[in-house]
Amino acid sequence: MRCFTTITELQTYLKLLRSGNRSPASVNLAQSSFTRNHSAQSVSIGLVPTMGALHQGHMSLIERARQENDCVVVSIFVNPLQFTPQEDLAHYPRNLEHDKVVCKNTAVDALFVPTIDELYGLKNEQAGPFTHLTQVMPPASMLNVLCGRSRPLHFQGVATVVAKLFNIVHPTRAYFGQKDAQQVAIVRKLVADLNLPGQIVVCPIVRESSGLALSSRNFYLTPAQRQQATVLYRSLQKAQQLFHAQERNVQPLLDVIQQEIVNSIGVKLDYAEGVHPDTLVPLVQIEDRGLLAIAAHVGSARLIDNITLSI
């Protein structure tokens, strides 16, 4: 596995790979000239963008990318643009040595770990207004719902870093988790609207046996809070049962979720909303597909979860 910290090194590696070195392991970065037997399209590259602290959820994306591509690139970057100043940027779990082992064990070809300075030209690691940067603004209709309401700058930061990573790597496919359903919808729209290269592949949510969705932020939970947090998925499952009993109105489904969480201990609901999974438009009724998404505070962690309902 190669580990790159600069854009130039990563791009040199990918250029050599695309230019004839079909096997990622055989790329010789010291080569000054190389054969051009293969067209640029002949080597498929799978990109898995992450913020590190890798767990089984991330690994499911990497494994899928491994199955579908000649070369797998994983990026690890705790993106300051997607944290608002009062959020957990400084405390976000970081464990590069562990992440390197995970990536080696899942046969990642290239690990890209840029510094903030490398990606944004910022010496200062604090979240700020970043007024000197060009940023990508997703449509307001996709920001005024779900997590966008309480994290107004978050998805602008996500869209900006994803656009940069796509432009740097030119992936054939890029892998995202359904756990971040709003991110998935916004990234799909971003790729379509800006004609970015690459196909978006969405992977299912990986859960603990308790039902709790795996998340780097679960690291903040005490054992008791981890148990309390299982109410998130339980509440979604109750709503799903009601949907399977032919309830098509969204409000009764949300009422079930709210009731379940209000009756639980140690969990404070931020929102429970029902939207269309592609457009994120709030739904009154589910006509074809619906996304029920929730966010809740458990201890110092803000956790999210969701379920997609289809007729």
Q: Which residues bind ligand AMP (CB under 6 A)?
A: 50-51, 57-58, 60-61, 176-177, 179-180, 203, 205-206, 213-216
In this complex, which beta carbon is closest to ligand AMP, that of residue 215 or of residue 228? 215
Nearest-approach distance from CB 183 to ligand AMP, in angstroms: 6
| Residues 211 and 279 sit within 8 Å (Cβ to Cβ) | no
Give 259-276 as a DSSP string.
HHHHTSSSEEEEEEEEE-
Q: Alpha-carbon distance 72 to 47, whole Å?
A: 6
Nearest-approach distance from CB 76 to ligand AMP, in angstroms: 8
Q: Alpha-carbon distance 41 to 243, whole Å?
A: 44
Phi, psi angle pair for 145, to nearest 5°: -135, 170
In this complex, which beta carbon is closest to ligand AMP, that of residue 19 or of residue 82? 82
Selection from 155, 72, 136, 156 nearest residue 108 by Cα: 72
Nearest-approach distance from CB 207 to ligand AMP, in angstroms: 7
In this complex, which beta carbon is closest to ligand AMP, that of residue 48 or of residue 250? 48
Selection from 90, 97, 69 nearest residue 3 by Cα: 97
In this complex, which beta carbon is closest to ligand AMP, that of residue 57 or of residue 274? 57
Instruction: List CB contacts of 92: < 8 A, sequence separation 6 or more.
Output: 51, 53, 78, 83, 216
Burial class (CB in 10 A: 0-12, 13-18, 19+), 44: middle
In this complex, which beta carbon is closest to ligand AMP, that of residue 16 or of residue 116? 116
Nearest-approach distance from CB 61 to ligand AMP, in angstroms: 5
In this complex, which beta carbon is closest to ligand AMP, that of residue 143 or of residue 303? 303
Looking at the annotation, which residues are catalytic?
58
SS3 content of the chain, % helix, strand, coil (to 5): 40, 20, 40
Phi, psi angle pair for 39, to nearest 5°: -75, 165
Which residue's beta carbon is nearest to the bound ligand AMP?
177
187: amino acid identity, one letter: V
Nearest-approach distance from CB 23 to ligand AMP, in angstroms: 27
Tokens, residue 236: 């979604």
Q: Alpha-carbon distance 311 to 306, whole Å?
A: 17
Phi, psi angle pair for 273, to nearest 5°: -140, 155
Q: Alpha-carbon distance 179 to 305, whole Å?
A: 6
Nearest-approach distance from CB 53 to ligand AMP, in angstroms: 7
Nearest-approach distance from CB 59 to ligand AMP, in angstroms: 9
| Residues 305 and 232 sit within 8 Å (Cβ to Cβ) | yes
